Structure 1
Amino acid sequence: MDDTRASRQLLQAALRSGDERARLPLAGMLLDGRDGPIDPDGAIEVLEPAEPGNAIARRMLTTAMALRPGGFPDAVRRRLEHARAGDRDAAVQMGVLLLDSHPAQSLELLQGAARQGAGLAAAALLHHAKNHEGLWPELEDWLNALMSAGYPLAGPLKTAMANMARTSHAPVLPADTDGLEHLDPASRAAKASPAQLGETPRIQSHSAAVGHALCDYLLAAAWPTLRRAEVFDPVTGRSSQDAHRKAYSASIPRSFQDLVVARIVADMAACTGTTTAFAENLAILLYYPGDEYKPHLDCFTSDEGWAGAELTAQGQRRATTLAALNSGYEGGETRFPRLDLSWRGEKGDMLSFENVTRDGTPDPLSLHQGLPVTAGWKALASLWVREQAPGAAGIAERTS
């Protein structure tokens, strides 16, 4: 057996022999589709024994549950149990997820987490305060502490705080009455009515597809891992910095996602009519003034080298979804030069487009670019959707 393709089997054998160190790495491989297909049921079986005493196992467990068809509401209920049992990270995630639909539960969870020092909870509470009574003293103290600590979104927080009314106490809200089924990305996708921007290839705009608190959560969570973006060579499987692409980027595989990120990924995949099983890792992109991504195609235009292995493992990159994570910058439009079409969504909007023709060949009209940012900074989430989920051999391995 090829040792480079045997990690999953080795970890399974180690776990059967009683080596608990194999549990989380094995679950990660099952979630990411490495050395074999994506297997959420297998990951759940591996993770449940570690659920009571391991916060990482709890996070990964609910991500695996969300990957099951129709499993998102069950995952939310399980994560709520974690939050109620004292898991601070679970409280932050559930508070962010429920902010728009279940404000009473959200407020309780976020305030409890903020009192335990969770900066992401305080930032999420600001979104609630903007739409309700105003900024109360305890929240203002939390937000000032975030700014002093160098929170990455401190600038927008400071601006929002300066323009808000003050109140003497946190709002008291009536109990939530709705269930959690509407959180299922499949049910929301069925109700969506995107704007058609192009027919060939199909290009669609999805307004207000992601809540602002979710946008901030995703960007702040990914910020510490952002690095100068590289251009990938699909023949050699290697990446390197190139003037063709100037930006910062981070990649979030399924095994590192929590329910907030998984919800965003599921919504982005649903914009293309599919599920997260067909999605690559979520990418976060940050552009400062002068940064740009020159004209390029997202699909594979060669079947040599690593690209050939990828096409065998998962097929073509048939579609792309972009989600705008902020507003207020200048320049930076996503442009399709061969179609004379440009898009720059407001915070929370998405753009989805096809990369291949009906017969599956690369569509030259899908050529697109990120125009230079001229002022401020631009943040996007980007998701490539494939023709199939990883098969028996798993995803193709890149060259280091």
Structure 2
Amino acid sequence: MASPLLDDGYTAWREGRMEDAVAALQSGVAAGEAAAIAPLFDAALEAGLTGDAAASVRATLDSALEGPLAPVLDQAAGQRAAARLGAVVLASGLGRAGDWPGAIAARQSDHERGDLRAGLEIALLCELAGFTGAALSLLEPLARSGQGEAIAALLRLGAQRGEVSEVAVPHAPALARAHPLGPALQQAISGLPAAAASAPCPVPDAQALADALFAREPERETLHDAPRIQTAPGLISAVLSDYLTAASVPFLHTATIFDPDTGEQRPDEYRRSLTASLPPSAMDLPALAIRDRMLTLAGAQSHQSEPLAVLVYQPGQEYRPHFDFIAPDGGRASDDLARRGQRAHTVLVKLNEEHTGGATSFPRLDVAWQGRRGDALVFDNLDAAGKGEKASLHAGLPVETGTKILASLWVRER
């Protein structure tokens, strides 16, 4: 049964009273409520806390994950889940600068102690950073153990290279039955030869891996100047595109729109798709690295981020012309604007290519973007004066065949 503090925190959160939600959840964690740790982290990030408030929450989380509550976490959520969350907190930047080298080093240590999930995270970060040999050295043993995400990554790499690791080939039929992208991956490697297992390759140390993840400024191509609309080809790799897609599946639900009359979200024919908002506490380092690359493309920092989302459009589904900036309503939307400012930027990443139709269109500018797997689009929702930019009107056109999958991130002013 939930504690009164946890109940109070969730009630305040539903009502949009984020400061009260954070305070109640923080009190819950301080009182020894392990179940309040993850929602406290999520609420603090949704509230966009900075300064002393963020530092206070960070100190509470650090104490819980490393100190008195650690034995409780071992029983309640599992030691490995607590270690994953601890690394995400370390890299997230809440209350202090994000410590990516420290977070990576922590997961490397977890892997050395037998945490296979931590090994997968390091492998995916290596692949995203361009250390493909190191990624293969980590992925192949994981695939031998039957880890589905590692098998999926090897199949995608095989499709790109024109030959598939012999470690992954025998697992492809089972993956097609158990993994959301299994059938597509099996089709992608159909007819390709098998390649011998890779020779061992050293894994870069935590600092080198962190540096490589974010060292390169994204390449940009400008589609429009004012409002800014830019593309960034290959912002993330195909392997990470697949990984984020699969990670979103447990969170998918029918997309909704904000109803200014009721202040609530509701389904509407105007927006027909599935959506998954990924709570920060459910993320891992690869998902966080994707989010941080999207933030870099927008020129923003972690505290400006709304939760990373994944959007899934099936044939006939669309998002009709709309704005991403928020209209004041004298209620919750206005309170939210006062706290965090407007949605200044939108970043989209194309996660698949197995569809026709579904371009992102700007009808007032005669601009449209389709993109390829891993490509990104960033555009501004505000004009030079900080007001809602009417020319940013955009739509997700109807999908004709297949399924369109996008990652989406809204970036606030503060």
Fold shared per TM-score above 0.5: yes
Alignment match of 1:89 (pick from 117, 132, 141) = 117
Stretches of structure 1 that go unaligned for 5 or more consecutive residues are: 389-400
Q: Separation in 1 of the partners of 2:185 and 2:247?
A: 16
Give the conservation status (yes or no) of the 8 Å contact 2:137–2:200.
no
Give the helix-richer structure, 1 or 2. Answer: 2
> More relative contact order in 1 or in 2 (CA 8 Å, sep 6+)?
1
Cα distance, 1:230 vs. partner?
1.2
CA contact (8 A) 2:126 2:209 kept: no
Matched, 1:41 2:58: yes
* Structure 2 Cα separation of the partners of residues 293 and 131 of structure 1: 31
Deviation at 1:198, TM superposition (A): 0.8
Equivalent residue of 1:246, what SS?
coil
C-alpha distance in 2, partners of 1:131/1:242?
A: 39
| In 2, Cα distance between equivalents of 1:360 and 1:331 | 33
The one-letter amino acid paired with 1:339 is: L
SS at match of 2:316: coil
Name the SS for the 2:345 alignment partner.
strand
| Aligned 1:44-63 pairs, distance under 5 A | 44-49=62-67, 50=70, 53=74, 54-63=79-88
SS across alignment from 1:47: helix
Task: Specify the alignment match of 2:150 in structure 1.
Answer: 121
Asked if 1:74 corresponds to 2:102, the answer is: yes
User: AA paired with 1:270?
Assistant: T
> Compared with structure 1, are the counterparts of its residues 260 and 174 closer, same or farther at alpha carbon in structure 2 (3 Å cutoff)?
closer
Q: Using a 3 Å threshold, how does the CA distance of structure 1 residues 120 and 373 change in structure 2: closer, same or farther? A: same
| Counterpart selection for 1:140 from 169, 185, 188 | 169
Q: Map 1:166-315 to 2 at 5 A.
A: 166-167=194-195, 169-176=196-203, 179-185=208-214, 187-188=215-216, 191-234=217-260, 236-315=262-341
Amino acid at match of 2:296: A
Equivalent position of 1:392 in the other structure: none
> What is the TM-score of this pair, normalised by structure 2?
0.85
Residue 396 of structure 1 corresponds to which residue in structure 2?
A: none
140-149 or 289-298, larger mean C-alpha shift = 140-149
Residues 102/90 of structure 1: CA separation in 2 closer, same or farther (3 Å cut) = same
Asked if the contact 1:325–1:380 (Cα under 8 Å) also holds between the matched residues in 2, the reply is: yes
Q: CA deviation at 1:16?
A: 4.0
Per the TM alignment, residue 278 of structure 1 is displaced from its structure 2 partner at its CA by 0.2
Distance 1:157 1:119, change over 3 A: same
Does the 8 A contact of 1:70 with 1:184 survive in 2?
no
Structure 2 distance, partners of 1:290, 1:314, is: 35
- Which of 90, 106, 109 matches 2:135? 106
1:227–1:296 CA distance, 2 compared to 1 (3 A): same
Identity %: 35
Distance apart, 1:26 and its partner CA: 3.8
The C-alpha deviation readout for 1:297-323, integer Å capped at 9, x for no partner, is: 000123422210110111111110000
Q: Are residues 23 and 229 of structure 1, via their aligned partners in 2, closer, same or farther at CA, if it must alter by over 3 Å?
A: closer
| 1:319-398 superposed matches below 5 A | 319-388=345-414
- The offset of 1:25, in angstroms, is 4.3
Distance, in Å, in 1 between the alignment partners of 2:266 and 2:89 is 32
Once residues 363 and 39 of structure 2 are traced to their aligned partners in structure 1, the CA distance between those partners, rounded to angstroms, is 44
Structure 1, residues 218-263: CA drift from partner, whole Å, max 9, x if none? 0011123212211122453311111101111110121221111111
Alpha-carbon distance in 1 for matches of 2:399, 2:28: 50
Native 8 Å contact 2:169 2:194 kept in 1: no
Q: In the alignment, is the contact (CA less than 8 A) between 2:321 and 2:395 conserved in 1? A: yes
Q: Which runs of 5+ in 2 are unaligned?
A: none
The number of equivalent residue pairs is 383
Deviation at 1:22, TM superposition (A): 4.3
Deviation per CA, 1:99-136: give whole Å up to 9, x if none. Answer: 25223432232233333332111101123334558224
